[in-house]
Amino acid sequence: MATDSWINETLYPDWGQRFLVKRELARVQSDFQDIVIFDSFSHGRVMVLDGVIQITERDEFVYQEMLTHVPLLAHGSAANVLIIGAGDGGVLRRVLQHRGVRRAVMVEIDGEVIRLAKEFLPAIGGDAWRDPRADVIVGDGIDYVKRATDASFDAIIVDSTDPIGVGEVLFTDAFYANCARILTSRGLVVNQCGVPFMQADELRETSARRQKFFPHVTAYVAAVPTYVGGFMTLGWAAKDASLTRVVTEEIRARAQAAGVLGTTRYWTPEIHVGAFDLPPYISGHLPVA
Protein backbone atom coordinates (compact mmCIF):
# COMPACT_ATOMS: atom_id res chain seq x y z
CA MET A 1 0.00 0.00 0.00
CA ALA A 2 1.69 3.26 -1.10
CA THR A 3 1.27 6.08 1.38
CA ASP A 4 2.47 9.64 1.83
CA SER A 5 2.51 9.14 5.59
CA TRP A 6 5.42 9.80 7.91
CA ILE A 7 6.64 7.71 10.86
CA ASN A 8 7.91 9.86 13.73
CA GLU A 9 10.40 8.42 16.22
CA THR A 10 9.09 8.91 19.77
CA LEU A 11 12.33 8.37 21.75
CA TYR A 12 12.43 12.00 22.93
CA PRO A 13 9.30 14.02 23.73
CA ASP A 14 10.64 17.22 22.23
CA TRP A 15 12.95 16.18 19.38
CA GLY A 16 13.20 13.45 16.84
CA GLN A 17 13.47 12.21 13.33
CA ARG A 18 10.81 11.13 10.88
CA PHE A 19 10.74 8.90 7.79
CA LEU A 20 8.46 9.19 4.79
CA VAL A 21 6.88 5.74 4.50
CA LYS A 22 6.91 4.08 1.07
CA ARG A 23 5.07 1.00 2.28
CA GLU A 24 4.28 -0.52 5.66
CA LEU A 25 5.41 -4.16 5.67
CA ALA A 26 4.49 -5.38 9.16
CA ARG A 27 2.85 -4.09 12.30
CA VAL A 28 2.70 -6.61 15.20
CA GLN A 29 2.00 -6.15 18.91
CA SER A 30 4.09 -8.96 20.39
CA ASP A 31 4.03 -10.04 24.05
CA PHE A 32 6.87 -7.58 24.64
CA GLN A 33 6.63 -4.59 22.33
CA ASP A 34 5.06 -2.94 19.32
CA ILE A 35 6.96 -3.97 16.19
CA VAL A 36 6.75 -2.05 12.92
CA ILE A 37 8.76 -2.72 9.78
CA PHE A 38 8.34 -0.39 6.85
CA ASP A 39 9.99 0.47 3.56
CA SER A 40 11.29 4.05 3.51
CA PHE A 41 12.36 6.28 0.62
CA SER A 42 15.55 7.36 2.39
CA HIS A 43 16.96 4.37 4.31
CA GLY A 44 15.56 1.20 2.80
CA ARG A 45 13.66 -1.01 5.20
CA VAL A 46 13.43 0.11 8.84
CA MET A 47 12.53 -1.71 12.08
CA VAL A 48 10.88 0.26 14.90
CA LEU A 49 10.25 -1.13 18.40
CA ASP A 50 7.90 0.79 20.69
CA GLY A 51 8.37 3.86 18.53
CA VAL A 52 12.19 3.75 18.63
CA ILE A 53 14.27 3.27 15.46
CA GLN A 54 16.25 0.03 15.88
CA ILE A 55 17.83 -0.59 12.55
CA THR A 56 17.74 0.55 8.93
CA GLU A 57 19.07 -1.34 5.93
CA ARG A 58 21.05 1.72 4.87
CA ASP A 59 23.14 2.34 8.02
CA GLU A 60 23.01 -0.92 10.02
CA PHE A 61 26.57 -1.75 8.94
CA VAL A 62 28.02 1.07 11.07
CA TYR A 63 26.57 -0.14 14.32
CA GLN A 64 26.85 -3.89 13.75
CA GLU A 65 30.50 -3.70 12.65
CA MET A 66 31.53 -1.56 15.63
CA LEU A 67 29.52 -3.50 18.22
CA THR A 68 31.02 -6.79 16.98
CA HIS A 69 34.51 -6.39 15.49
CA VAL A 70 35.90 -4.05 18.14
CA PRO A 71 35.46 -6.39 21.16
CA LEU A 72 36.33 -9.58 19.26
CA LEU A 73 39.50 -8.15 17.66
CA ALA A 74 40.56 -6.42 20.87
CA HIS A 75 40.22 -9.75 22.69
CA GLY A 76 42.08 -11.55 19.92
CA SER A 77 41.01 -15.14 20.67
CA ALA A 78 37.29 -15.12 21.42
CA ALA A 79 35.90 -18.58 20.72
CA ASN A 80 32.65 -18.51 22.71
CA VAL A 81 30.51 -15.43 22.25
CA LEU A 82 27.19 -14.55 23.89
CA ILE A 83 24.88 -12.11 22.09
CA ILE A 84 21.91 -10.68 23.95
CA GLY A 85 19.09 -9.02 22.03
CA ALA A 86 20.12 -8.37 18.41
CA GLY A 87 16.95 -9.99 17.12
CA ASP A 88 17.60 -8.69 13.61
CA GLY A 89 20.55 -11.08 13.22
CA GLY A 90 23.08 -8.42 12.24
CA VAL A 91 25.44 -8.96 15.17
CA LEU A 92 25.18 -12.75 14.85
CA ARG A 93 26.19 -12.55 11.18
CA ARG A 94 29.27 -10.50 11.95
CA VAL A 95 30.31 -12.58 14.98
CA LEU A 96 30.26 -15.66 12.75
CA GLN A 97 32.53 -13.93 10.23
CA HIS A 98 35.35 -14.42 12.75
CA ARG A 99 37.13 -17.68 11.91
CA GLY A 100 38.12 -18.21 15.53
CA VAL A 101 34.54 -18.21 16.83
CA ARG A 102 33.42 -21.73 17.68
CA ARG A 103 30.07 -20.95 19.31
CA ALA A 104 27.75 -17.93 19.10
CA VAL A 105 24.79 -18.08 21.50
CA MET A 106 22.14 -15.46 20.78
CA VAL A 107 19.42 -14.82 23.38
CA GLU A 108 16.56 -12.65 22.09
CA ILE A 109 13.48 -12.20 24.27
CA ASP A 110 11.04 -11.67 21.40
CA GLY A 111 10.65 -14.44 18.85
CA GLU A 112 8.46 -12.14 16.77
CA VAL A 113 11.43 -9.84 16.14
CA ILE A 114 13.42 -12.79 14.80
CA ARG A 115 10.51 -14.04 12.69
CA LEU A 116 9.81 -10.62 11.17
CA ALA A 117 13.50 -9.83 10.64
CA LYS A 118 13.96 -13.10 8.73
CA GLU A 119 10.94 -12.32 6.56
CA PHE A 120 11.35 -8.60 5.90
CA LEU A 121 15.05 -7.87 6.60
CA PRO A 122 16.69 -11.07 5.31
CA ALA A 123 19.98 -9.44 4.25
CA ILE A 124 20.78 -8.27 7.79
CA GLY A 125 21.02 -11.77 9.30
CA GLY A 126 21.90 -13.46 6.00
CA ASP A 127 22.97 -17.09 6.42
CA ALA A 128 23.90 -16.64 10.09
CA TRP A 129 20.67 -18.27 11.21
CA ARG A 130 21.75 -21.54 9.54
CA ASP A 131 25.38 -21.52 10.70
CA PRO A 132 26.10 -24.69 12.73
CA ARG A 133 28.03 -22.57 15.28
CA ALA A 134 24.93 -20.47 16.00
CA ASP A 135 22.62 -21.30 18.91
CA VAL A 136 19.58 -18.96 18.77
CA ILE A 137 17.49 -18.95 21.94
CA VAL A 138 14.23 -17.08 22.49
CA GLY A 139 14.41 -15.97 26.11
CA ASP A 140 15.25 -13.21 28.58
CA GLY A 141 18.93 -12.32 28.66
CA ILE A 142 18.85 -11.77 32.43
CA ASP A 143 17.65 -15.34 32.98
CA TYR A 144 20.22 -16.78 30.60
CA VAL A 145 23.19 -15.13 32.31
CA LYS A 146 21.86 -16.23 35.71
CA ARG A 147 21.96 -19.88 34.62
CA ALA A 148 25.08 -19.86 32.42
CA THR A 149 28.23 -21.66 33.61
CA ASP A 150 31.17 -19.78 35.18
CA ALA A 151 33.86 -18.68 32.71
CA SER A 152 31.96 -20.06 29.73
CA PHE A 153 32.19 -17.06 27.39
CA ASP A 154 35.07 -14.90 26.10
CA ALA A 155 32.87 -11.97 25.03
CA ILE A 156 29.31 -10.79 25.64
CA ILE A 157 27.67 -8.39 23.18
CA VAL A 158 24.48 -6.75 24.41
CA ASP A 159 22.50 -5.32 21.53
CA SER A 160 19.36 -4.46 23.41
CA THR A 161 16.72 -1.80 23.29
CA ASP A 162 17.12 1.13 25.67
CA PRO A 163 16.78 0.61 29.45
CA ILE A 164 13.01 1.03 29.33
CA GLY A 165 10.63 -1.92 29.20
CA VAL A 166 12.08 -5.37 28.53
CA GLY A 167 15.56 -3.97 28.04
CA GLU A 168 15.78 -2.47 31.50
CA VAL A 169 17.04 -5.66 33.20
CA LEU A 170 20.11 -5.66 30.95
CA PHE A 171 21.43 -2.52 32.61
CA THR A 172 21.30 -3.75 36.26
CA ASP A 173 23.88 -4.79 38.85
CA ALA A 174 22.54 -8.34 38.80
CA PHE A 175 23.07 -8.55 35.07
CA TYR A 176 26.64 -7.25 35.16
CA ALA A 177 27.53 -9.41 38.16
CA ASN A 178 26.49 -12.50 36.23
CA CYS A 179 28.29 -11.28 33.10
CA ALA A 180 31.50 -11.03 35.13
CA ARG A 181 30.95 -14.56 36.52
CA ILE A 182 30.32 -16.23 33.15
CA LEU A 183 33.20 -14.49 31.35
CA THR A 184 36.69 -15.98 31.18
CA SER A 185 39.70 -14.24 32.77
CA ARG A 186 40.27 -11.93 29.76
CA GLY A 187 36.54 -11.60 29.06
CA LEU A 188 34.64 -8.40 28.25
CA VAL A 189 31.11 -7.18 27.75
CA VAL A 190 30.05 -4.39 25.37
CA ASN A 191 26.60 -2.91 25.10
CA GLN A 192 24.66 -0.30 23.24
CA CYS A 193 24.72 2.67 25.58
CA GLY A 194 22.69 5.32 23.82
CA VAL A 195 23.53 8.69 22.36
CA PRO A 196 25.15 10.68 25.20
CA PHE A 197 24.24 14.06 23.68
CA MET A 198 20.65 13.14 24.60
CA GLN A 199 21.02 10.11 26.93
CA ALA A 200 24.05 10.93 29.11
CA ASP A 201 22.38 9.35 32.16
CA GLU A 202 22.34 5.97 30.40
CA LEU A 203 26.10 6.08 29.85
CA ARG A 204 26.92 7.51 33.29
CA GLU A 205 24.68 5.22 35.32
CA THR A 206 25.47 1.99 33.49
CA SER A 207 29.22 2.72 33.50
CA ALA A 208 29.11 3.19 37.28
CA ARG A 209 27.30 -0.15 37.57
CA ARG A 210 29.78 -1.95 35.33
CA GLN A 211 32.65 -0.54 37.38
CA LYS A 212 31.42 -2.52 40.41
CA PHE A 213 32.19 -5.78 38.59
CA PHE A 214 34.90 -4.98 36.03
CA PRO A 215 38.33 -3.41 36.54
CA HIS A 216 38.32 -1.56 33.22
CA VAL A 217 35.26 0.44 32.19
CA THR A 218 35.18 2.86 29.30
CA ALA A 219 33.27 3.42 26.09
CA TYR A 220 33.86 3.84 22.40
CA VAL A 221 31.86 5.63 19.72
CA ALA A 222 30.34 5.14 16.31
CA ALA A 223 28.58 7.65 14.08
CA VAL A 224 25.26 5.94 13.38
CA PRO A 225 23.16 8.34 11.26
CA THR A 226 19.77 7.13 12.50
CA TYR A 227 20.67 7.10 16.20
CA VAL A 228 20.06 10.85 16.21
CA GLY A 229 22.13 13.21 18.39
CA GLY A 230 25.71 12.67 17.31
CA PHE A 231 27.95 9.83 18.48
CA MET A 232 26.39 6.56 19.62
CA THR A 233 28.32 5.13 22.56
CA LEU A 234 29.08 1.49 23.10
CA GLY A 235 29.80 0.64 26.72
CA TRP A 236 32.97 -1.34 27.44
CA ALA A 237 33.66 -3.41 30.59
CA ALA A 238 36.70 -5.69 30.59
CA LYS A 239 38.68 -7.81 33.04
CA ASP A 240 41.89 -6.98 31.17
CA ALA A 241 42.70 -3.28 30.72
CA SER A 242 45.23 -4.03 27.99
CA LEU A 243 42.50 -4.88 25.46
CA THR A 244 42.01 -1.22 24.55
CA ARG A 245 45.76 -0.70 24.15
CA VAL A 246 46.23 -3.07 21.22
CA VAL A 247 47.99 -1.07 18.50
CA THR A 248 46.57 -0.49 15.03
CA GLU A 249 48.95 -2.83 13.21
CA GLU A 250 48.16 -5.69 15.60
CA ILE A 251 44.43 -5.05 15.14
CA ARG A 252 44.96 -5.14 11.36
CA ALA A 253 46.82 -8.43 11.60
CA ARG A 254 44.10 -9.93 13.78
CA ALA A 255 41.39 -8.75 11.37
CA GLN A 256 43.27 -10.36 8.48
CA ALA A 257 43.60 -13.65 10.38
CA ALA A 258 39.95 -13.55 11.44
CA GLY A 259 38.75 -13.07 7.86
CA VAL A 260 37.24 -9.64 8.59
CA LEU A 261 39.73 -7.25 6.93
CA GLY A 262 38.38 -5.88 3.68
CA THR A 263 34.76 -6.88 4.41
CA THR A 264 33.73 -3.72 6.30
CA ARG A 265 32.27 -0.33 5.29
CA TYR A 266 32.80 1.57 8.58
CA TRP A 267 35.20 -0.37 10.81
CA THR A 268 38.92 -0.08 10.00
CA PRO A 269 41.90 -0.73 12.28
CA GLU A 270 42.39 3.05 12.57
CA ILE A 271 38.69 3.67 13.37
CA HIS A 272 38.87 0.80 15.92
CA VAL A 273 41.71 2.42 17.84
CA GLY A 274 40.45 5.98 17.40
CA ALA A 275 36.90 5.14 18.59
CA PHE A 276 38.17 5.07 22.19
CA ASP A 277 39.42 8.68 21.98
CA LEU A 278 36.32 10.33 23.38
CA PRO A 279 35.32 14.00 23.25
CA PRO A 280 35.03 15.58 26.73
CA TYR A 281 31.23 15.85 26.52
CA ILE A 282 31.23 12.02 26.48
CA SER A 283 34.30 11.06 28.55
CA GLY A 284 32.99 13.32 31.31
CA HIS A 285 30.27 10.76 32.00
CA LEU A 286 32.68 7.88 32.52
CA PRO A 287 34.12 6.78 35.87
CA VAL A 288 37.52 8.30 36.58
CA ALA A 289 40.10 5.55 35.87
Sign of CA dihedral 71, 73, 75, 79: positive
Q: Residue 133 phi/psi, 5° resolution?
A: -85, -10
Q: Which of 63, 61, 5 is nearest to 36 (CA)?
A: 5
b/e for 257-276, b at 16 or more Cβ within 10 A? ebebbeebebbbbebbbebb
Shortest approach of ligand SAM to residue 115 CB, angstroms?
11
Q: How far apart are CA 153 and CA 78, in angstroms?
A: 8
Candidates 50, 59, 65, 110: give the one binding ligand SAM (CB under 6 A).
110
Q: Which of 169, 180, 245, 247 is nearest to 215 (CA)?
A: 180
Q: Note if 31 is an active site residue.
A: no
Classify residue 220 as exposed, middle or buried by CB count within 10 Å of its CB (0-12, 13-18, 19+): buried
Question: Residue 109 or 182: which CB sits closer to ligand SAM?
Answer: 109
Question: Residue 64 or 80: which CB sits closer to ligand SAM?
Answer: 64
Select which of 159, 173, 201, 277 is catalytic. Answer: 159
Candidates 87, 125, 163, 235: give the one binding ligand SAM (CB under 6 A).
87
Check: CB of residue 71 under 8 Å from CB of residue 30: no
Please give the size of the binding site for ligand SAM, defined by CB under 6 A. Answer: 26
192 makes contact with ligand SAM (CB under 6 A): yes
177 makes contact with ligand SAM (CB under 6 A): no
202 makes contact with ligand SAM (CB under 6 A): no
169 makes contact with ligand SAM (CB under 6 A): yes
Q: Which of residues 221-250 bind ligand SAM (CB under 6 A)?
A: none
159 makes contact with ligand SAM (CB under 6 A): yes
User: Considering only 73-81, 108-116, 127-135, 241-249, which stretch makes contact with ligand SAM by CB under 6 A?
Assistant: 108-116
Q: Across 41-159, where does the E strand assignment appear?
A: 45-49, 52-56, 80-85, 103-108, 134-138, 153-159
Q: Residue 191 phi/psi, 5° resolution?
A: -150, 150
The site map against ligand SAM for 260-279 (x = CB under 6 A) is --------------------
The site map against ligand SAM for 30-59 (x = CB under 6 A) is --x----------------x----xx----
Candidates 21, 46, 95, 113: give the one binding ligand SAM (CB under 6 A).
113
Check: CB of residue 27 under 8 Å from CB of residue 35: yes
Q: How far apart are CA 236 and CA 187, in angstroms?
A: 11
Candidates 37, 170, 193, 243: give the one binding ligand SAM (CB under 6 A).
170
Q: How far apart are CA 251 and CA 262, in angstroms?
A: 13
Task: Report CA-CA distances (Å) from 154 to 118, 181, 264.
Answer: 27, 11, 23
163 makes contact with ligand SAM (CB under 6 A): no
Candidates 19, 38, 63, 176: give the one binding ligand SAM (CB under 6 A).
63
Which residues are catalytic, by number?
159
Q: Which residues bind ligand SAM (CB under 6 A)?
A: 32, 49, 54-55, 63, 84-88, 107-110, 113, 140-142, 159-161, 166-167, 169-170, 192
